[in-house]
Amino acid sequence: MIKGYAGRILEVNLSRRSFEYKPLDEETARLYIGGKGYGTRLLYDRTEAGIDALGPDNPLIFATGPLNGSAAPQTNRFAVVCKSPLTGGIGNAACGGSFAYGLKKAGVDLVIVMGVSEKPVRLLIDGDRDAVEFIDASELWGKGTYETQEILGKKKYHAVIGPAGENQVLYAGIVSNERIAGRTGVGAVMGSKRLKAVTAQGSRKLDMEDPEKFKEYTREVRRIFREHPVLGDSLKRFGTAGIVNTTNARNIIPTRNFQRGSHPEAYKLSGEYMEDHELKGIKSSCIHCPVTCGRDVEVEGKGRVKGPEYETVALLGTNLDVTDLKRVSEWNYQADDLGMDTISLGATLGFAMELQEKGLANFGLHFGDVKGIGQAIEDIGHRRGDGNELADGTRKLAQKYGGMDFAPHVKGLELSAYDPRGSFAQGVEYATTNRGGCHVQGASMYMESVGPLTINPQNLRLKADLPVLQQNLACAINSMVLCYFTTYGMVPKAVHDMPADSFARKAISTAMEFSGPMMGLAMRRKGNAMIWYEKWLRYITGAPMSSGHLQEIGERIFNLERMYNLREGLSASDDTLPRRILEESTFDHMESGHPLHLLLPKYYKKRGWDAQGVPKPETLQRLGVRV
- Name the residues that contact another protein, by CB under 8 A: 230, 234-235, 238, 240-252, 261-262, 264, 267, 270, 272-273, 276, 293, 309-311, 422, 440, 446, 450-452, 454, 456, 458, 484-485, 488, 496, 499-501, 506, 586-589
Whether residue 495 contacts residue 438, with contact meaning beta carbons closer than 8 Å, is answered with no
* Least distance (Å) between residue 236 CB and another protein: 11
Q: Which residues pair with 20 in a beta bridge?
A: 11
> 218 or 454, CB closer to another protein?
454
Q: How far is the CB of 513 from another protein (least distance, A)?
A: 11
CB closer to another protein, 89 vs 595: 595
Sign of CA dihedral 407, 427, 328, 381: positive
Nearest approach, Cβ of 25 to another protein (angstroms)?
33
Nearer to another protein by Cβ, of 448 and 574: the residue is 448
Rounded CA-CA distance 577/376 in Å is 27
List of residues 6+ apart from 128 with CB closer than 8 A:
201, 202, 203
Rounded to whole angstroms, the Cα distance separating 446 from 394 reads: 26
As measured in angstroms, the least distance from the Cβ of 275 to another protein is 9
Count of CB atoms within 10 A of residue 229's CB? Answer: 16
Give the integer Cα–Cα distance in Å for 329 and 597: 39
- Least distance from another protein to the Cβ atom of residue 190, Å: 23
Least Å distance, CB 178 to another protein, is: 14
Specify the residue, 214 or 484, whose C-beta has the smaller distance to another protein. Answer: 484
Least Å distance, CB 281 to another protein, is: 18
User: With respect to another protein, which residue has the nearer C-beta, 203 or 500?
Assistant: 500
545: three-class secondary structure by DSSP: coil
Cβ at position 246, least distance to another protein in Å: 4
- Nearer residue to another protein within complex by CB, 132 or 483: 483
Closer Cβ to another protein, 300 or 500, answer by number? 500
Rounded CA gap, 599 and 256, in Å? 27
Considering the complex, state which of residue 426 and residue 541 has its C-beta at the smaller distance from another protein.
426
CA atoms within 13 A on the CB side of 610: 7
For Cα atoms 327, 332, 336, give the angle at the middle one, nearest 5 degrees: 150
- Judged by beta carbon, residue 246 or residue 388, the one nearer another protein is 246
Q: Least distance in Å: CB of 450 to another protein?
A: 6
Please report the beta strands in 6-130, taking only residues with DSSP state E, as ranges in sequence order: 8-13, 18-23, 60-63, 78-83, 90-95, 110-114, 121-126
Angle between helices 465-480 and 547-567 (to 10 degrees): 90
Measured distance CA(55)–CA(188) in Å, rounded: 11
Which residues is 133 bridged to in the sheet? Answer: 124
Tell me how far, at minimum, the Cβ of 617 lies from another protein, in Å: 38
In the bound state with another protein, the residue whose beta carbon lies nearer, of 272 and 357, is 272
Instruction: Convert 370-438 into a string of H (helix), E (strand) and C (coil).
Output: CCCHHHHHHHHHCCCCCHHHHCCCHHHHHHHHCCHHHCCEECCEECCCCCHHHCHHHHHHHHHCCCCCC
